[in-house]
Amino acid sequence: MSLGQLYRSLDDECFKVLHAIESYMNKYEYVPVRLILRETRIPPKRLDAILGYLNSKKIIRRRVGYEVGYKLTFVALDLLAIRSLVLRGVLEAIGEKIGVGKESDIYEALGPGGVRLALKLHRLGRRSFKQTLRLRPYVLEKETQEWFQESKLSAQREYRALEEISKHTKYVPKPIAYSRHAVVTDFIEGVELYKIRTLTNPRETLEKILEVIRVAYVKVGIIHGDLSEYNIIVSFPEETPKVIDWPQYFYKEHPSAKDILKRDIYYVVRYFNKKFGLEVDWEKIYEDILSEGE
């Protein structure tokens, strides 16, 4: 069942249950059924049926012990974020998954009027989740809530970075909204830079990418921190680049800010020089941006 189908299978009572569990997860690793019952006021038999369904779909996870309790999974967080965005009038439909990263999943979505959007769901801890499950299963449960919070913070950081940078340049995704660990942006039709063999005017494309680095540093006071050919998307036929993946940015006041800025510039210029036969002096670009930002 796709994420969109799963969302459509839930009614208001199901979301009331998910909200109730979420509200207690700061206090309980597994939220006791008695608290869910008290919070939702759903009749016990109906609540049992809802909890059974949500558990069967791996939206929540059950633990049986001194008392039965439930916790949210990342799927539940996905559904709660989507619900919030739907109620706010941001999203109208969820499409297929179009991208999977180390720490995120990306879906195509539709907004009001059929506008194409991208829905990015941050998933910090994905690798740790699998590795910890294999090596130390007893640690797994204690870390989930921390990963939830880190994913929410990651989404918030990315949204705010895009919000500020997009005021000064069009070469980043346009942020639309965020909720919990989800960020909605305009849809980018393009190809990752590392997959592209030729460009008609690679120097112009590089200059637009360098504009993003300059604007971020000089106007906003941040540095991408992980810039490479893997997080730049180029749209054709205009060959317009968009710099993506901003949650790990650094402030220019960071002790290592200059080194991080230098690294971002060096990596992207080196790639264009090597791949497209340019002879751009990355050190001069670095010095120019640095002096402009001081």
Question: Do residue 176 and residue 202 come from a single domain?
Answer: no
pLDDT band at 127 (very low <50, low <70, confident <90, very high): low
Report whether 95 contacts 109 (CB < 8 A): yes
Query: Is residue 128's pLDDT more than 90?
Result: no
- The three-state secondary structure class of 65 is coil
Question: Do residue 94 and residue 146 come from a single domain?
Answer: yes
Please tell me the total count of domains within the chain. 3
Query: Is residue 51's pLDDT more than 80?
Result: yes
The predicted model gives 40-47 an average pLDDT of 97
Q: Domain limits at 209? A: 191-292
Question: Do residue 202 and residue 248 come from a single domain?
Answer: yes
Whole-prediction pTM: 0.90
Question: Do residue 129 and residue 201 come from a single domain?
Answer: no
State how far the alpha carbon of 230 is from the alpha carbons of 192, 226, 268, 271, in Å. Answer: 6, 9, 10, 11
* Residue 288 is a catalytic residue: no
Report whether 168 contacts 219 (CB < 8 A): yes
Residue of 105, 226, 281, 288 with catalytic role: 226
* Residue 83 resides in a domain: no
C-beta atoms surrounding 167 within 10 Å: 10
Q: Are strands 116-122 and 182-186 parallel, antiparallel or unpaired?
A: antiparallel
Question: Do residue 172 and residue 231 come from a single domain?
Answer: no
* Residue 35 resides in a domain: yes
Last residue in a domain, options 145, 160, 186: 186
CATH number at residue 28: 1.10.10.10
Q: What is the model's pLDDT at position 8?
A: 96
Question: Do residue 67 and residue 148 come from a single domain?
Answer: no
Question: Do residue 174 and residue 217 come from a single domain?
Answer: no
Last residue in a domain, options 186, 201, 221: 186
- The three-state secondary structure class of 227 is coil
- For residue 158 the two structure tokens come to 């990315």
* Residue 232 resides in a domain: yes
Question: Do residue 203 and residue 182 come from a single domain?
Answer: no
* Residue 63 resides in a domain: yes
- For residue 82 the two structure tokens come to 């989507």
Q: What is the model's pLDDT at position 294?
A: 79
* Residue 281 resides in a domain: yes
Q: What is the model's pLDDT at position 144?
A: 59
* Residue 230 resides in a domain: yes
Give the whole-number percent of the chain exceeding pLDDT 70: 94
How far is CA 244 from its chain centroid?
10
The predicted model gives 222-245 an average pLDDT of 96
Query: Is residue 226's pLDDT more than 80?
Result: yes
Give the whole-number percent of the chain exceeding pLDDT 90: 85
Question: Do residue 150 and residue 204 come from a single domain?
Answer: no
* Residue 111 resides in a domain: yes
Q: What is the model's pLDDT at position 100?
A: 85
d(CA 259, CA 264): 9
Last residue in a domain, options 137, 163, 186: 186
- Interval 54-96: pLDDT, tens: 999 999 999 998 899 999 999 999 999 999 999 999 999 999 9
* Residue 112 resides in a domain: yes
Question: Do residue 216 and residue 274 come from a single domain?
Answer: yes
- Interval 129-155: pLDDT, tens: 444 334 333 334 444 578 888 999 999
- Interval 153-205: pLDDT, tens: 999 999 999 999 999 999 999 999 999 999 999 999 999 999 999 999 999 99
Q: Are strands 182-186 and 175-179 parallel, antiparallel or unpaired?
A: antiparallel
Cis preceding-peptide flag for 43 (omega within 30 of 0): no
CATH number at residue 131: 3.30.200.20
